[in-house]
Amino acid sequence: MRYDETKFTELVLYVAERLADDRAGGATKLNKVIFFAEFTHVRRHGDAISGCEFQKLEHGPAPRQLVPVRKRLVEADEAAIRTEDFLGREQHRLVPRRPADLSVFTADERRTINDVLDQIAGLTAHKVSALSHEEPGWRLTEMGETIPYAAALLGTRQVSTPTSRRLSREVAERYGIAITG
């Protein structure tokens, strides 16, 4: 999957914008919404939204490109980082200073992003992290490794095609798991 930094930047801004009224909408939840949007879109449409790369961290998947993009947004005064107290813990919230440019997304991409945001609304960052730990891609990679987008198709019901069987075999071989059928 090819990485599109413009789409990723606008995705970060849009998700941060939508999490503005979510008390648990700090950095952890931002990471997880982006992960679920990207992997849900792969499941639904066979392609990622921005193609950002995710790494396995202790608290779940995180986009490798987030820190440099967030830094650039802050330096350009297009966003700020606000530190807040959330249940006695320090929370770092990205606060957009400009609206996201949604024109970079297709209608299907916008629908996927909004569906994910709606489905996890009201969940704490801890609960969203726990959900991300159930994902095959997170379970099958080592700490710090890149989570392959092909893992989005593991453990989900799908139509069996030569391509899906090939991808399943490649992922299974890489992570030493047996595939039956």
- Per DSSP, the residues of the chain read ----HHHHHHHHHHHHHHTTT-TT-SHHHHHHHHHHHHHHHHHHHSS-SS---EEEETTEEEETTHHHHHHHHHHTTSEEEEEEEETTEEEEEEEESS---GGGS-HHHHHHHHHHHHHHTT--HHHHHHHHTTSHHHHTS-TTPEEPGGGGGTTS-----HHHHHHHHHHHHHHT-----
Q: CA-CA distance, 154 to 110, in Å (whole number)?
A: 24
Residue 89 pLDDT: 73
The predicted pLDDT at position 157 comes to 45
- Give the C-alpha separation, 35 to 40, whole Å: 8
pLDDT for res 173:
80
Structure confidence at residue 40 (pLDDT): 94
pTM > 0.85? no
Tens-level pLDDT at each residue, the chain (181 residues): 799 999 999 999 999 999 998 877 888 899 999 999 999 999 999 999 999 999 999 888 999 999 999 999 999 999 999 987 777 777 788 999 999 999 999 999 999 999 999 998 888 888 988 999 989 988 888 999 999 998 898 874 445 556 656 777 787 787 777 655 5
C-alpha span between 26 and 99 (Å, rounded): 18
Question: Which pLDDT belongs to residue 106?
Answer: 97
**Whole-number pLDDT of residue 48:** 96
CA-to-CA separations, 145 to 54, 58, 73, 121, 141, in angstroms, rounded:
8, 11, 26, 28, 6
